[in-house]
A = this chain, B = another copy of it.
Amino acid sequence: MAPTKLKIACAGLGRMGKRHALHFLNRTPRAELVAASSPDEAELAWARTHLEPYGVVLYRDYDEMLKQEGLQAVVIASVTTVHAEQAIKGIEANLHVLCEKPLSTSVEISQTVVDAAKKKPHLKVMCGFSRRFDSSYRDAHEKMDAGLIGRPSIFRSQTCDKLDPSGFFVAYAEFSGGIFVDCSIHDIDLALWFFGQDSQVKSVASSGITAVQPELRKHRDRDNAVGIVEFYGGQIAYLFASRMMAAGQDDATEIIGTEGKLQVNAQPMSNLVNIYDAAGIRREIPPHYYGRFEQAFVNEANEFTACCLDDLKLPMKLTGAVQAVKIGCALQEAMNTGAKIWFDETGRRIERAVM
């Protein structure tokens, strides 16, 4: 008899939802995509062609989908504003939950998901920080753990998107939580991973500009921003996020230790081709994050599935997802107010640390 497969549903069939659905349908051998939901007619039309023929039941309503017989897990790829609500409903329906990042743009709402998950310790509830599943980041982390760089001390990371001149990001900024919560959250999560999941933030400072899209300011956002995050353990993360890259997705990370440095994607590339022509030597780079992280998303689907089926420990704590939102929100606020923001060692906001 063939081993059982994890019966999973996909909530939301937008850009990322389509990908999650197809990953679980075609690229996750131990999972079976059995359902998908979207309130959006265009998304459902897509699903009728690409999912339904393979036995995936489609729903307009998320709550209806949760009732499907035999369902064991749900991947949530809806708009950010409903992540937390749908995650909690999934948990309450006794389903394993893989939720796209962030849980919410609000620390408090993010925490409600953690609280709900705590009540069902047998369930696997994970916020999908895809970079944790990228083979290069993992290799770097393993090398750090093996002591190659001594004690990690300084962390530099950037999430830089290709310029989208359509104005999409201006509209998107209304609900995204802003550039630090939407983009830098990945870098913050990585910092927590490399410095230790329970690292306590001490202060944040940040600055941002609108170099190409001044209208972002009406949503208290920027198109380029840098930030410094100090931790109580004596480490510093410094971050850059941009929505203005000409060449394509330019995400890079450095972990600087007392005895060495690890670098991830400091020389981005689409593939292994170099082009020599009259302008010199050139390589192309991925236009979007999916070009960089496609395989990480597939790994995520497969590992989440294995954790559910084999009752394994998830590769990361759900509480980390709240900590990441907290730091992202503080950076966003520091950028907007100009203030430096301080926390005590228990994580509470304070007026100013004694230096």
Chain A residues near B (Cβ < 8 Å): 1-3, 25-27, 29, 53-55, 135-136, 139-140, 143, 148-151, 153-154, 156, 203, 205-212, 224, 226-228, 230, 234-236, 238, 240, 242, 244-248, 250, 256, 258-285, 336-340, 342, 352-353, 355
Contacts and interface: CB of A to CB of B under 8 A. Distances in A.
Copies held by the complex: 4
Q: Which of A277, A284, A340 has the most CB of B within 10 A?
A: A277
Nearest to A284: B280
A263 to B, nearest CB: 4
A258 B211 contact: yes
A209 B235 contact: yes
B277 A148 contact: yes
Contact of A276 (B25, B250, B265): B250
Given A206-B228, A238-B226, A247 B277 contact: yes
B276 A263 contact: yes
A281 B268 contact: yes
A276 B261 contact: yes
Contacts of A262: 273-276
Contacts of A353: 338
A211 B153 contact: yes
Given A224-B154, A246-B261, A281 B275 contact: no
Contact of A246 (B245, B264, B278): B278
Contacts of A136: 271-273
8 contacts: A154-B226, A244-B256, A246-B259, A247-B276, A261-B276, A266-B266, A279-B284, A282-B282
A43 to B, nearest CB: 21
Contacts of A256: 224, 242, 244
